[in-house]
Structure 1
Amino acid sequence: MKSFTRRDFLQALALLGISTGIEALLPAYARSRPRVPAPRRPRRGPVTYDLTIAETPIRIGGRRAKATTINGTVPGPLLRFREGDEVIIRVTNRLKEDTSIHWHGVLVPFDMDGVPGVSFPGIKPGETFTYRFRLRQHGTYWYHSHSGLQEQTGIYGPLIIDPAEEPYPYDREYVIVLSDWTFENPYRVLARLRKYPGYYNFQRRTLANLFEEAREMGFWKALKDRLSWGRMRMGATDIVDITGATYTYLMNGHAPEDNWTALFRPGERVRLRFINAAAGSIFDVRIPGLPMTVIQADGQYVQAVTVDEFRIGIAETYDVIVEPKEEQAYTIFAESMDRSGYARGTLAPREGMEGPIPPLRKRPLRTHADMGMVHEGHEGHAGMPHEAMAAPTEHRGHQMPADTTGHHMHGGHDHHGGHAMMAGMMGGVGQPPGMPPEAQPHGDDTHGPGNAAVPMITRSRLHEPGVGLGEDGWRVLVYTDLKSLHPREDFRPPTREIELHLTGNMERFLWGIDGKTYSEAPEPIRLRYGERVRLVLVNDTMMEHPMHLHGMWMELENGHGRHIPRKHTILVKPAERLSVLITPDEPGPWVFHCHILYHMEMGMFRVFEVSEPETATRTSS
């Protein structure tokens, strides 16, 4: 009888859909190994890591691919530190092109931020760049390339900074990195989107589903809805740019069929650190049958809130604690926002177990409310037209008054980022600190050809779960649920406001801020060191934008006073007006951009320039 050789074993694994050598191509945290809280270690000098970026053959979902990897894996290795550590990270470039690493959400000096052309020149082929900084925070973060579209090809990984004191004890933990992978060249993906933005949308409305919608809402209403979207040159199914038509959704580098597994003992408190490291995908995360208690958002502890599902925008992180009490398998299910696919894993007491995989939900549709349209009597704006989301030539907004500098002011805003301000009686401007902005009509500035349309009304939508959520009877996390664990010490009112509009033209796949791409933008937006500024973001587009600010926290004004949460990335819904408070406390240039990689590449990107402290200026002079 022929013996069963190692080669036979590997071939059997391949037939079962398990990629050969997959464990060797994954970092330790992604190999279903639990981590229990480690004892506190004394500090003994800097914590050092060596990272090498290179091209590496890998297998994803049983298919061969070539990725740009960090130390040979996708995702890259887990970098773990303690609050207060001094960090030395040497990054060596083995590619044939420049590369970089940005420490997402980590507060560092500007020259350690890793943005080529802004904070440093980049890392040339064959060279090593040494990042060195001291950690001033704790929490779950991640790191990634900021060079071209390299993030899409595999240059990303998790980063955890343990706190001096842990407010939420747990028995074991897992890092869960969500991402998307395409076997296409990402520049080819971008070229296709520029020629035809709906290239990957196979869920568009057709004549067949017109009759399905007519059965649900009535024929004339369904027809009127379609004609309305047609006049706006938009589609109600335009949820994301890139879908499961080309994307494979990954959990810790594993395709859904690989069934990444995390083990537990019934009764344990298991901490799951979710990181959305995708290039173009927003996920809706749930573990059917198992409530999740959210304890951290973007690395910052929040007051515990228990939910059944949460939406995680690109670049956001959420830490949750689950307490499985039954000896059964649970599915960790991360469904793409457009319902074209999912990433999944299993939380189980033993290897080899699987929980049931939920069916994909029906693809959502944009509504007129999503687009800033107003029905009669809605929010006190009775009589406003129903078709309020109009092309620029049809827009009927209200003119903003002009200040003495010629800039248009909106409730004390300096719309163009200048220094004019309108101080209130308490030394601040606008609404009280911590409160969301009031709904406002859009001004007459339609931002030119770089913007396809504008909503008539922009309003806070922080209390809304988002398109496709909230109709299943489940508890869904919303931004108004987030309250910081400790009150803000610095809660000064802002002395000025800067209003920025997120703009885009789907037909041209052109994205920008205030109607301009980065290459067309004026000089950087100037901030004074230590000043208190309210940044108002207005989404004039029909898509969500995860906006990330480098170098400083954004304090999301969600109505909780001194307990408003700090975030490094905020998912801005269509037709939404939201505000954040910022206190620039690190001099230098800092970028602000959409974290949909292809939107950033096409121009939704700006630079904030923070001045040197006045004392330093006087000393140097």
Structure 2
Amino acid sequence: MGTFTRRDFLQALAVLGITTGLEALLPAYARPRPQVRPLRRQTDGPVTYDLTIAETPIRIGARKATATTINGTVPGPLLRFREGDEVILRVTNRLKEDTSIHWHGLLVPFDMDGVPGVSFPGIKPGETFEYRFRIRQHGTYWYHSHSGLQEQTGVYGPLIIDPAEEPYPYDREYVIVLSDWTFENPYRVLARLRKYPGYYNFQRRTLSNLFEEARERGFWSALKDRLSWGRMRMGATDIVDITGATYTYLLNGRAPEDNWTGLFRPGERVRLRFINAAAGSFFDVRIPGLPMTVIQADGQYVQPVTVDEFRIGIAETYDVIVEPKEEKAYTIFAESMDRSGYARGTLAPREGMEGPIPPLRKRPLRTHADMGMVHGDGDHAGMQHGGMQQHEGREHRPMHHQNQQHQDMSHAQHGAMMAGMMGGVGQPPGMPPEPQPHSKETHGPGNAAIPMVTRSRLHEPGVGLGEDGWRVLVYTDLKSLYPRKDFRPPTREIELHLTGNMERFLWSIDGKTYSEAPEPIRLRYGERVRLILVNDTMMEHPMHLHGMWMELENGHGRHIPLKHTILVKPAERVSVLITPDEPGPWAFHCHILYHMDMGMFRVFEVSEPETAAKTSS
């Protein structure tokens, strides 16, 4: 028999902090016992969980719905392990369609990764699939379906791996799963987006908005800006595809009016593990009156950075520590990026307390920087349509910017020379990419427009942030707690362009959808590669690479952070270092569920390692 230790008991209490809230989602007749059992330790075998995916009646706010649940709840149960555990996860499908579970951010053998059509066939109705692997990492992660649009209907849950040693002590913790829910069939949502991509955008510019903008910036300036957007058939208010017009934003499965609550004693160090499990929503998170110290990003420890607000892209995770001193309630406020709604919860010393809910901020607008507009280009549109010749855009470039480009190229050439001396290619490892004019390649009809110049925007907080006087987390703040052991320069570079046509709601990579892609992108086992991501579109894309870490080149040398998901801003050029160390096919895709479904998806194929010994002749 296994033993149940005090540590296990404390972990179970942390689990119940989330599961007790989940029970309220179900009608009284359907409320189950807590679905997450205490983590039991067997001395003679692996840690085992049984998960069942089925349709279940639930309640979101005041409305009833049917969700696709894991063990009867949305989110699914919290799975908790320790670094080094061997685990067995038996997933049973009670649906009428195939399903799957992907362990997001976990390093596993490819046939345990859970991507139908790539790493395994999927789980047929009535069948049980057994995932089995050893835990090789620590941190805050999550798991979700990789089948169809099931993630939107509720198939996701949190996963925590305790480290062998905890560098940041804390007194209590809560898991905060942010997500979005629609009472519509998600395939109907997708069909509407394909017919009219702005269907859910009720914040479009109007004539009355024009006069408001004219008062702020002058009539002719406001009018020219409108006309430039009109020529590109784009909208400055196209922030996200799906908004609060259909979405209810959830915190631990609860609508804002249900007010999930986590308790604390004044003076305690409380760890909050934030997970963005949404299908289509980015959240700007703050706790008014309570600074947050970020200690972990995507499950990996970083050097502490104290902020008032952070943006969490879809599939990202951030761990923060807060220290509430007063005997009062604090509101956890997760505002949607387009300001069309929010999720919220409460930290309080007693049940039933509520803090003030901040008002939604004014909806943001895209700028010419999001179009990759050349600095100083006045009122000219900064993006070119896919069918235009590149030189047409370059004719608008002023002379002083050409000089700046010359300086940028000199820096790039110097970096290439230094890296070459180190046996690598391109810039020295760890440095963000230099600004570059877009190549002549327009990527065909699958790409509506291209930016004139792409550059690193890691230091920017993002659209709608940074103007409130608050400390906002940016990617250049992230500095790993431990230095990289393997910091070899890359021996080759792979550049991929994130492409799309908003009018037709087509999303792709290098202008081709997954079904059009000729073959996998091939990597050699153990090689060092720089992957360059260039966003040709005017929307943010959270890009996720399965099976290996991405080392984000943000300028911190050996302390550059590890990420499994990177939010790439419009007109941005991002570079990451990767070292493939697990053979097999691995998915790479945008984690906006509807973008992935429409084709922003690729497969990286990692070769088998070469044999250590060869027969001598």
> Does TM, normalized by the shorter one, top 0.5?
yes
* Aligned pairs for 1:98-247 within 5 A: 98-247=98-247
Q: 2:487 aligns with which of 491, 498, 506?
A: 491
Match of 1:356 in 2: 356
How far residue 45 of structure 1 moved from its aligned partner, in angstroms, is 2.5
The 1:543–1:29 alpha-carbon spacing in structure 2 relative to 1, beyond 3 Å, is farther
* Aligned pairs for 1:336-351 within 5 A: 336-351=336-351
Match of 1:418 in 2: none
Retained in 1: the 8 A contact 2:461–2:474?
Answer: yes
Sequence identity, in percent? Answer: 88
Residue 56 of structure 2 aligns to a residue whose secondary structure is: strand
How far residue 393 of structure 1 moved from its aligned partner, in angstroms, is 2.4
C-alpha distance in structure 1 between counterparts of 2:302 and 2:117, whole Å: 35
How far residue 43 of structure 1 moved from its aligned partner, in angstroms, is 5.7
Match of 1:9 in 2: none
C-alpha distance in structure 2 between counterparts of 1:346 and 1:29, whole Å: 22
C-alpha distance in structure 1 between counterparts of 2:65 and 2:140, whole Å: 29
C-alpha distance in structure 2 between counterparts of 1:269 and 1:610, whole Å: 43
Residue 424 of structure 1 aligns to a residue whose secondary structure is: helix
The 1:439–1:368 alpha-carbon spacing in structure 2 relative to 1, beyond 3 Å, is same
Residue 451 of structure 2 aligns to a residue whose secondary structure is: coil
How far residue 62 of structure 1 moved from its aligned partner, in angstroms, is 1.2
Residue 394 of structure 1 aligns to a residue whose secondary structure is: coil
Retained in 2: the 8 A contact 1:447–1:514?
Answer: yes
Match of 1:21 in 2: 28
* Aligned pairs for 1:5-404 within 5 A: 20-21=27-28, 24=31, 44-376=44-376, 386-396=380-390
C-alpha distance in structure 1 between counterparts of 2:176 and 2:67, whole Å: 20
Question: Is 2:431 aligned against 1:424?
Answer: no
C-alpha distance in structure 1 between counterparts of 2:515 and 2:100, whole Å: 21
C-alpha distance in structure 2 between counterparts of 1:236 and 1:246, whole Å: 21
The AA in structure 2 aligned to 1:96 is: K
Residue 614 of structure 1 aligns to a residue whose secondary structure is: coil
**Aligned residue pairs, count:** 571
C-alpha distance in structure 2 between counterparts of 1:300 and 1:125, whole Å: 36
C-alpha distance in structure 2 between counterparts of 1:384 and 1:207, whole Å: 23
Q: 1:515 aligns with which of 511, 515, 521?
A: 511
Q: 2:449 aligns with which of 443, 450, 453?
A: 453
Match of 1:589 in 2: 585
* Deviation per residue, 1:142-181 (Å, 9 max, x gap): 0000000000000000000000000000000000000000
Match of 2:414 in 1: none
Residue 347 of structure 1 aligns to a residue whose secondary structure is: strand
Match of 2:605 in 1: 609
The 1:373–1:29 alpha-carbon spacing in structure 2 relative to 1, beyond 3 Å, is farther
C-alpha distance in structure 2 between counterparts of 1:262 and 1:26, whole Å: 20
The AA in structure 2 aligned to 1:558 is: N
The 1:330–1:27 alpha-carbon spacing in structure 2 relative to 1, beyond 3 Å, is farther
How far residue 388 of structure 1 moved from its aligned partner, in angstroms, is 2.3
C-alpha distance in structure 2 between counterparts of 1:179 and 1:149, whole Å: 14
Retained in 1: the 8 A contact 2:589–2:596?
Answer: yes
Match of 1:14 in 2: none
The 1:320–1:259 alpha-carbon spacing in structure 2 relative to 1, beyond 3 Å, is same
The 1:507–1:192 alpha-carbon spacing in structure 2 relative to 1, beyond 3 Å, is same
C-alpha distance in structure 1 between counterparts of 2:379 and 2:265, whole Å: 58
The 1:26–1:571 alpha-carbon spacing in structure 2 relative to 1, beyond 3 Å, is farther
Residue 606 of structure 1 aligns to a residue whose secondary structure is: strand
* Deviation per residue, 1:335-379 (Å, 9 max, x gap): 000000000000000000000000000000000011100232xxx
Q: 2:476 aligns with which of 455, 480, 501?
A: 480
Residue 56 of structure 1 aligns to a residue whose secondary structure is: strand
C-alpha distance in structure 1 between counterparts of 2:486 and 2:70, whole Å: 39
* Deviation per residue, 1:108-151 (Å, 9 max, x gap): 00000000000000000000000000000000000000000000
How far residue 54 of structure 1 moved from its aligned partner, in angstroms, is 0.4
Residue 229 of structure 2 aligns to a residue whose secondary structure is: helix
Q: 1:573 aligns with which of 569, 574, 597?
A: 569
* Deviation per residue, 1:437-489 (Å, 9 max, x gap): 00000001010000000000000000000000000000000000000000000
* Deviation per residue, 1:16-54 (Å, 9 max, x gap): x99753993696789xxxx9xx9x979653000000000
Match of 2:440 in 1: 444
C-alpha distance in structure 2 between counterparts of 1:42 and 1:124, whole Å: 30
* Deviation per residue, 1:538-571 (Å, 9 max, x gap): 0000000000000000000000000000000000
C-alpha distance in structure 2 between counterparts of 1:245 and 1:169, whole Å: 41
C-alpha distance in structure 2 between counterparts of 1:168 and 1:546, whole Å: 28
Residue 212 of structure 2 aligns to a residue whose secondary structure is: helix
Q: 2:551 aligns with which of 510, 534, 555?
A: 555
The 1:246–1:20 alpha-carbon spacing in structure 2 relative to 1, beyond 3 Å, is same
Retained in 1: the 8 A contact 2:180–2:247?
Answer: yes
Residue 578 of structure 1 aligns to a residue whose secondary structure is: strand
How far residue 385 of structure 1 moved from its aligned partner, in angstroms, is 8.5
* Deviation per residue, 1:42-70 (Å, 9 max, x gap): 96530000000000011101101001000
C-alpha distance in structure 1 between counterparts of 2:194 and 2:538, whole Å: 17
Match of 1:403 in 2: none
The AA in structure 1 aligned to 2:229 is: W
The AA in structure 2 aligned to 1:270 is: V
Residue 487 of structure 2 aligns to a residue whose secondary structure is: coil
Retained in 2: the 8 A contact 1:18–1:62?
Answer: no
C-alpha distance in structure 2 between counterparts of 1:211 and 1:26, whole Å: 57
Retained in 2: the 8 A contact 1:240–1:338?
Answer: yes
C-alpha distance in structure 2 between counterparts of 1:42 and 1:118, whole Å: 33
Retained in 2: the 8 A contact 1:22–1:59?
Answer: no
Retained in 2: the 8 A contact 1:19–1:61?
Answer: no
C-alpha distance in structure 2 between counterparts of 1:22 and 1:166, whole Å: 41
C-alpha distance in structure 2 between counterparts of 1:204 and 1:23, whole Å: 42
Retained in 2: the 8 A contact 1:375–1:385?
Answer: no
C-alpha distance in structure 1 between counterparts of 2:551 and 2:540, whole Å: 19
The AA in structure 1 aligned to 2:445 is: P
Match of 1:4 in 2: none
Residue 449 of structure 1 aligns to a residue whose secondary structure is: helix
C-alpha distance in structure 2 between counterparts of 1:438 and 1:486, whole Å: 26
Retained in 2: the 8 A contact 1:99–1:123?
Answer: yes
Match of 1:406 in 2: none
User: Runs of 5+ in structure 1 lacking a partner?
Assistant: 1-16, 377-382, 400-410, 412-421
RMSD (Å), alpha carbons:
2.3
Further displaced range: 367-376 or 69-78:
367-376
C-alpha distance in structure 1 between counterparts of 2:468 and 2:46, whole Å: 49
How far residue 396 of structure 1 moved from its aligned partner, in angstroms, is 2.0
* Deviation per residue, 1:365-420 (Å, 9 max, x gap): 000011100232xxxxxx79842211122342599xxxxxxxxxxx9xxxxxxxxx
Retained in 1: the 8 A contact 2:36–2:79?
Answer: no
The AA in structure 1 aligned to 2:281 is: S
Residue 331 of structure 1 aligns to a residue whose secondary structure is: strand
Match of 1:541 in 2: 537
Q: 2:522 aligns with which of 516, 523, 526?
A: 526
C-alpha distance in structure 1 between counterparts of 2:236 and 2:378, whole Å: 22
How far residue 537 of structure 1 moved from its aligned partner, in angstroms, is 0.2
Further displaced range: 41-50 or 20-29:
20-29
How far residue 616 of structure 1 moved from its aligned partner, in angstroms, is 6.7
The 1:41–1:486 alpha-carbon spacing in structure 2 relative to 1, beyond 3 Å, is farther
